Structure 1
Amino acid sequence: MKLCFLLIVMLASAASGAIEKRIVGGVSCKKDRQYHVQIESLQKGKSCGGSLINTRWVITASHCAQQLVKVTLGLNNDVSFFTKAWSFLKGSSKKLEQNIQINQQFTYKDEEGRDHDIMLIKLNEDMSAKLPTIKLPPVECQRPEPSQQVEVGGWGAKTADVTKAKKPSSLKCASTDITACGENDKPDDKYHSDESTTMCAHKPGVEACHGDAGSAVEYNNVLHGIIVSEPVDKCANPIVMLDICYYRKWIDETMLKNP
């Protein structure tokens, strides 16, 4: 019975994904971004992406959480339908969905106590070491230079009302180019940002949509940014992101202090 139910759900999801749009200008990620996670508010209305950086920690944008959220892992895993079905029947798939309390969410605060739009989420339990993660750059890293190509991805909906948007069937990936940020290219006013923390990327036809915030920005297959663009009534181009290199030491320190 469980197996039949799972088959129906997966087929329905695949059918609805054919008309859904996200990361405009992109193509299916296929086997890429298997580290991607989805973060959803349990109070509904908010959906974001995130990245698994090791067996216990996820990185995302702060505005994606700061409340009780559900984190779903393994959505883009390169495993067969039968493997997923067997995992479901054994009950181990439940581990891939975890409700995360606020006390397990860590937003970066600068020396003046201002929040930045970047967060680490500690999972309730360790994930399997076989689950793909994204590699972090070295502590003394440098951000990509202007005109350098970076990869973005996401599972966001193009429509503003995500409660009515159908769940897409696949993660979308696209390439875009690092560019200078404009005066209004920044996270929400609730969060501090300046030219030392914020990067932007622009390429005609490539946009981030509602639900893509929190997703990873890859450069040379390494995590170098977090999308913080949070468009409401239309998609965003340029795409605004935070520079991981600025926060690299904080990432290590936060995980060390909260084993």
Structure 2
Amino acid sequence: MSEPGWTNTAILKVNPRTAGQQSQVIQDKPVTYTHDDHQHGIILLKLQTPVTDVQPALLPDCRRRFRGHNVKLAGEGATTTGPNNKQLNISAIPAHLQCVDMKVVAVSLVELPYGHIFRAKAPNKEICYGDTGGAALHSGKIYGVISFGGEGACQSSATIMDVCKYKNWIKKTIKPGK
């Protein structure tokens, strides 16, 4: 997070790699969701300069919960493993964005300090270091943000921050004019 004297930067347009990355300075201290004195693992950032050439993700339709449906995940995590099938957090970034469809296997979970989450899994697929913060999309809408996976490759489900549980807070926090 933010400490005195630090500058937080958001990197936009990282894929495709030819898109011309943009670095954006974070204008204010990030806003963290807090409930009953517990911070959840979700923050909102306000960029110093408006971004007009990146299509924002649409918020989800939370009336339809989707256990058993697929979500599309994307990230730049490592694609190799080390001894004992353990994920490596120092592997090279893959040349292309990695995308996978995973089936939602558990919904409406609370796991502090992360907060409201759901889990998704696919045979022989996994998220990895470097994928955190990526979107979990369903029908063109963002239903989640990748939080973390297990240490053993393809041995556990992906943990995804449930955007539906924070949708009202997001809308209130980003209301126009703020």
Q: TM-score range by the shorter chain?
A: 0.7 to 0.9
Query: Could you tell me which residue of structure 2 aligns to residue 136 of structure 1?
Result: 59
What is the Cα deviation at residue 240 of structure 1?
0.9
C-alpha distance in structure 2 between counterparts of 1:131 and 1:99, whole Å: 16
Equivalent residues in 2 for 1:60-79 (5 A)? Answer: 65-66=1-2, 68=6, 69-77=8-16
2:98 corresponding residue in structure 1: 172
**What letter corresponds to residue 68 of structure 2 in structure 1?**
S
Q: Which residue of 1 aligns with 2:120?
A: 201
- How far is 1:248 from its partner? 0.5
- Residue 89 of structure 2 corresponds to residue 161 of structure 1: yes
5 Å-filtered alignment, 1:219-238, equals 219-229=138-148, 231=150, 233-235=151-153, 237-238=156-157
CA distance change for structure 1 residues 106 and 235 in 2, over 3 Å: closer, same or farther? farther
User: 3-state SS of the aligned residue for 1:122?
Assistant: coil
What SS class does the counterpart of residue 252 from structure 1 fall into?
A: helix
Match of 1:146 among 62, 67, 75: 67
Return structure 1 stretches of 4+ with deviation > 4 angstroms: 65-68
- Cα separation, 2, equivalents of 1:132 and 1:217: 16
So what's the TM-score if we normalise by structure 2? 0.78
Q: In the aligned structure 2, how far is the partner of 1:217 from the partner of 1:77?
A: 18
Percent identical residues: 24
Gap regions ≥5 residues in structure 1: 1-64, 85-92
Of 18, 32, 52, which aligns to 1:107? 32
**Structure 1 residue identity aligned to 2:130:** G
Work out which of the two has the higher radius of gyration on C-alpha atoms and give 1 or 2. Answer: 1
- Higher-helix-fraction structure: 1
List alignment gaps of at least 5 residues for structure 2: 80-86
Alpha-carbon distance in 1 for matches of 2:72, 2:65: 12
Q: 2:23, 2:15 → 1: CA distance?
A: 14
Matched-pair contact (CA < 8 Å) for 1:104–1:123: no
Pair 150,230 (structure 1): closer, same or farther in 2 beyond 3 Å = closer
CA deviation after TM superposition for structure 1 residue 229, in Å: 1.1
Q: How far apart, CA to CA, are the structure 2 residues paired with 1:170 and 1:227?
A: 18
Q: What secondary structure is seen at the aligned counterpart in 2 of 1:145? A: coil
Q: Is the alpha carbon distance of 1:230 and 1:257 closer, same or farther for their aligned partners in structure 2, counting shifts above 3 Å?
A: farther
Q: Work out whether residues 217 and 226 of structure 1, in 8 Å CA contact, stay in contact via their aligned partners in 2.
A: yes
Bigger fraction of residues in strand: 2
Q: Indicate how the Cα distance of structure 1 residues 201 and 125 shifts in structure 2: closer, same or farther if over 3 A, else same.
A: same
- Where 1:180 maps in the other structure, the secondary structure is strand
- The equivalent of 2:47 in structure 1 is 123
Q: Structure 2 counterpart of 1:199, which letter?
A: F
Structure 1: distance between partners of 2:114 and 2:12: 29
